[in-house]
Amino acid sequence: MRFAAGLITLLSFTFLANQASADTVRKVRIVGKGEQAEVLIEGVFDVPTYDVRARDGGRFVVIDVVDVTLPPDGLVSTGTTGLIRGATASTTSRGVRVEVELARPLPFHARVQSGTIGVRFSAVEEPVEKDTASNEGPLTISDLHIERRDGRDRLVVETNRPTDFRVKEKADAVSMEIRDAQLSARLDRVVYGDPEGTIREAKIAVVGSKAVITVMG
């Protein structure tokens, strides 16, 4: 996932960002070939609010886009690949849900650019793309904290420049891996949520060349 301001958010084991209301999802495209594929959700929004999660053992990936609608004439969905069998879109009480059916469980990366949410799937380990427009200096995680808004918790991870990450789900936790990242000396390594909230604890550590954030509910 990529944000121009270098801000990543994790909400209730899913990923979110702020957006305005009256936005529309207009098209879902499936692109790619061979061992790589990507689902592109295109619409009228800048930085959308959305959740990404796997279900049914990873055979489906669900993207919930919050506070958006489908166009009156319906949604255009195009494309298939060897890794992705298809995608469907429907309206929920929160907004729009896109369900992606995979040929087999695969790791995925999510990113957002103006007007497009991209979820990339790969059957092989991918190198992280370099952002030529990013700030100079090493990627640094400067802050980690839990926010509670509208009855929901989210973990906010602040970085000095845009970055990508990988999500791994477990039975009782979700982890986010950020490659080639270092931690600020002032960064709290463990943060705790509200006892009544959905995020109980989050901790961060450097493992090899990756920063790993583990979120427990």
Of 83-92, 122-131, 132-141, 190-199, the range with the lowest mean pLDDT is 122-131
Instruction: Tell me what pLDDT residue 12 has.
Output: 35
Beta bridge partners of residue 88, listed in sequence order: 99
Question: What is the per-residue pLDDT for 61?
Answer: 93
Average pLDDT for 108-127: 80
- Global pTM reads 0.53
**Residue 149 C-beta-side C-alpha neighbours within 13 Å:** 11
- Average pLDDT in the 102-124 region? 86
Whether residue 145 sits in one domain with residue 113: no
* Confidence at residue 190, expressed as pLDDT on a 0 to 100 scale: 94
Q: Do 100 and 41 reside in the same domain of the chain?
A: yes
* Range of the structural domain that residue 200 is part of: 139-216
The mean-pLDDT minimum among 87-91, 115-119, 127-131, 207-211 falls in: 127-131
pLDDT given at position 2: 35
pLDDT above 80: residue 22: no
Say if residues 117 and 50 touch (Cβ distance below 8 Å). yes
Burial class (CB in 10 A: 0-12, 13-18, 19+), 143: middle
> What does the pLDDT read at residue 14?
39
Residue 159 resides in a domain: yes
Statement: residue 186 has pLDDT above 80: yes
Report pLDDT for 204. 94
Q: Quick one: pLDDT at residue 134?
A: 44
Average of per-residue pLDDT across 162-173 = 74
pLDDT band at 62 (very low <50, low <70, confident <90, very high): very high
The pLDDT confidence band at residue 48, using thresholds 50, 70 and 90, is confident
Number of separate domains in the chain: 2
63 & 118 share domain? yes
Specify if 45 maps to a domain.
yes
Same domain, 118 and 79: yes
Q: How far apart are CA 204 and CA 217, in angstroms?
A: 15
Selected residue with higher pLDDT from 170 and 119: 119
Instruction: Report the CATH number that the domain containing residue 80 is assigned in CATH.
Output: 2.60.40.3500
Question: Measured between alpha carbons, how far apart are the two ends of the chain, in Å?
Answer: 22
Return the percentage of the chain with pLDDT > 90, whole number. 29
In terms of domains, do 146 and 110 share one?
no
